[in-house]
Amino acid sequence: MDIQRPRGTADLLPEALGLWSAFERVALREFERANYREIRTPLFEHTELFVRGVGDTTDIVEKEMYSFQDRGGRSLTLRPEGTAGVVRAYVENKRYGRADIDKLYYLGPMFRYERPQSGRSRQFHQYGCEVFGAEAPELDAEVIALSYRILSEFGLTGLTVEVNSVGCDVCRPQHKAAMLRLVQPHAEEFCGDCQRRMERNPLRMFDCKHETCQRLLTELQVPRISDVLCADCREHLEAVLHHTALLGIPCERNPNLVRGLDYYTRTAWEVTVAGHSTVSGGGRYNSLVAELGGPETPGIGFAGGVERAVQLAIDQSLTAGEDERLDVYVVTADQTATDQATSLVDTLRRAGFMADRDFQRRSVKSQVKSADRQHARWMAVLGETELASGTVTVKDMDSGEQEIWPFLEVAERMQERRTKQEGEGK
């Protein structure tokens, strides 16, 4: 095998896809119950959209974009996240001119050029939603609840929601300036990572694992954003937590929580399981729509990683439920019966049964083993004796009983059996 899949991509094989579709069903169901509607935007956009939307100093834009030139010389980028494209579509399609707020959800692949490791790959899948046109804290609570419920309804346990406010256009710049005033004179005393964080996203410094950095922050009495929120932001955060409590969502305040993208304002949160990477995260973005050329419109949304949810399910021993079982396996017990096998399989399929047969000219024993391996409900044997009498030997693989039926009545009789079994609740 000389050509392998590109680094950081995965083949999703049938055996693994059961959990995926189980998860997707739950996500779509929860979104739709909450009156969200699906949106599908392009997998690639103009590079400029992400630079302006996500933020030009974020890791995503600085080193993780899959960008390329098309034949017309335009710079395009495989989408590294979902929000920017949805906001662009919202503005471009002028959906702001409507009376109701716009509740949208999406599910699909995203791309980031990173070193793969557990819970991280170059093509991965996110599900998420965006809501435009309301800034009431009860909406924040609804979206937080959705991000939590999708995972809990999927069956995951041990989930917590960490919530913080990163401030607004008023209090955040003030805090940042104040923080830098205190910290920059001591820049060399911080670790290399923190010195970089100072440039990019000083809030991150509170996350540093180095003890010296933490001690310095305390000694210098550097305020955390949550300590210096303006009155409106403070009030908003309290109202959000009040409503998530009404909804029974296990929220915890995390004054150190920061998100990596530039566009967040006020509420930011992550759904986590102890000892694992974040499963989903989101926040409010009240300036993003305007920054991308639309009218001042508040927005809020979250995105979760499908791979991470599925991996947690595996870790927690959740199963997807049985695959649909094969109804009939047609056994060709004699080479002369191939014509009949072909038409019997076709007849059964047209009658709505999942039917299959041997295509490798294997022995009868092998074919029966095959039927067993695939958990067929029935096998239908076509051999010399059946051909001579225009019949089919039909065996119920569960009970082991077998009968001889006229060839032309097989589908009909099976339908009767199936109806009867379903009536008995089997």
Partner RNA sequence: GUGAGCGUGGCGAAGGGGUUAACGCACCGGAUUGUGGAUCCGGCAUACGUGGGUUCGAUUCCCAUCGCUCACCCCA
Give the interface with RNA as residue ranges (CB under 7 A).
Answer: 4-5, 7-8, 58-60, 81, 112, 114-121, 124, 126, 193, 196-197, 201, 204, 207, 209, 258-261, 270, 277-281, 303-305, 307-308, 331, 333-334, 362-366, 368-373, 379, 381, 383-386, 393, 395-398, 400, 402
Give min distance, CB of 393 to RNA, in A.
Answer: 4
Computed from CA positions of residues 94, 25, 269, 10, in that sequence, does the dihedral angle turn out positive or negative? negative
End-to-end Cα separation, the chain, in angstroms: 46
Give min distance, CB of 401 to RNA, in A.
Answer: 8
Question: What 3-state class would DSSP assign to 260?
Answer: coil
What are the two backbone dihedrals, phi and then psi, of residue 104, each rounded to the nearest 5 degrees? -125, 145
| CB closer to RNA, 145 vs 371 | 371
| CB closer to RNA, 82 vs 234 | 82
What are the two backbone dihedrals, phi and then psi, of residue 414, each rounded to the nearest 5 degrees? -65, -40
Give min distance, CB of 48 to RNA, in A.
Answer: 20
350-354 long-range contacts (CB < 8 A, ≥24 apart) are: 350/411, 351/411, 351/412, 351/414, 351/415, 352/415, 353/327, 353/328, 353/411, 353/414, 354/324, 354/325, 354/326, 354/327, 354/328
Give min distance, CB of 94 to RNA, in A.
Answer: 27
| CB closer to RNA, 246 vs 314 | 314
Cβ pair 311, 130 in contact under 8 A: no
| CB closer to RNA, 93 vs 385 | 385
| CB closer to RNA, 365 vs 426 | 365
Give min distance, CB of 191 to RNA, in A.
Answer: 9
Give min distance, CB of 349 to RNA, in A.
Answer: 21
| CB closer to RNA, 136 vs 260 | 260
Show Cβ contacts of residue 317 under 8 Å, excluding neighbours closer than 6 positions: none
| CB closer to RNA, 307 vs 356 | 307
Give min distance, CB of 329 to RNA, in A.
Answer: 10
CA distance 136 to 139: 6
- DSSP secondary structure letters along 52-100: HHH-TTSHHHHH--EEEE-TTS-EEEE-SSSHHHHHHHHHHTTTTSSSS
